[in-house]
Amino acid sequence: MTETQIQKSIIDALSKLPYVCVWRNSNAMKGKYKYGLHSRLHPTGSSDIIAVVHPHGRMVAIEVKTKEDFKWDERVHRQADFMAAVSGYGGEAGFAWDVPSALEIVERARKSRDDSETTE
């Protein structure tokens, strides 16, 4: 499967869950400015799929990759930085290669932060 096909299958699966609001985060550029520069519609490195998960309203960022084409290059480092920021603000984020790996990320988001941390 191509990355686009995997993204579509993940979005189709997540959109059937009653506790998930999901959308494709397009990497399109908008408008042409003086000197041929374009404006970005989202932060650099932002994930392919964004969702909000009930009951805690947590943001989910899913970066879709094919296992065959995955390599740690500059672009993937920027994507990992974006996912770290999402996690740092209380969301869940991760790489997904298929529907089950995306569902794991969503299920982590369904738990409250207090449920996943141990208290002493």
Rounded CA-CA distance 86/77 in Å is: 14
Query: What is the pLDDT at residue 114?
Result: 67
Query: What is the pLDDT at residue 54?
Result: 93
Residue-wise pLDDT tens digits, 71-114: 888 888 999 999 999 999 999 999 999 999 999 999 999 986 66
Query: What is the pLDDT at residue 88?
Result: 95
- DSSP H helices in the chain: 3-15, 74-88, 99-110, 113-116
Between β-strands 92-96 and 58-64, what pairing exists: parallel, antiparallel or unpaired?
parallel
Tokens of 18: 């009653």
Q: Is the pTM of this model over 0.95?
A: no
Residue-wise pLDDT tens digits, 89-100: 999 999 999 999
DSSP lists the bridge partners of residue 92 as 60
Please report, for the chain, the start and end positions of each structural domain, with discontinuous segments joined by +: 3-112
Task: Report the CATH fold assignment for 3-112.
Answer: Trna Endonuclease; Chain: A, domain 1 (3.40.1350)
> Distance of CA 111 to CAs 8, 56, 61, 87, Å?
25, 8, 16, 14
Tokens of 3: 């990355």
Residues 6+ apart with CB under 8 A from 17: 106
Q: What is the mean pLDDT of residues 27-47?
A: 64
